[in-house]
Amino acid sequence: MEGRGDLDPVGVLFALAAGTCWGVYILLGAALGRHTTEGNGLALGMVVAALVAVPFGVAESGAALMRPWVLVAGLGVALLSSVIPYSLDLEALRRIPPRVFGILMSLEPVMAALIGLVVLQERLHWAQWIAVLCVVAASAGATRGARPDEARTSSGPTSS
């Protein structure tokens, strides 16, 4: 069979690091959702992200970043790629256990595959579709396996 070979240790380390960062994101997001209200934590996170990213953009592009169309495009990208998704993540983490949230997030590649199929006319191999179905089944099973009282106790008090 083609494509079989030794695992690249650097690739394995990157995969482990990515999984670790994803787990930390979920746990920190759950804690942030429990301890903040009305998007205050998200606002703080966006400011920190901007402070980290903007210097690199300014160093690369300088005054070109101040063009009105660039600012409008940047605002659109910020809203669609960060503010809205992270707001929804925080709200979800306030209401469901981090374990269930993590399983449900595994459905993102499934949605990407379906969007690729519909919008880009991309085709997956039959083995890839079986993998997609396995992820959906695992997500459904893990979500159905969560007890209703677990969702309330893991999310802590919520403010209305």
Please list the rounded mean pLDDT of every run of 10 residues in the chain (160 residues): 71 91 84 74 79 85 83 87 83 80 80 90 89 84 64 46
DSSP 120: S
Token code pair at residue 91? 């709200």
pLDDT at 130: 92
pLDDT at 1: 44
Q: E strand or H helix at 73, and its extent?
A: helix 68-78
Whole-angstrom distance, CA of residue 135 vs CA of residue 151: 22
What DSSP string describes 4-31?
--PPPHHHHHHHHHHHHHHHHHHHHHHH
Q: pTM for the complete prediction?
A: 0.58
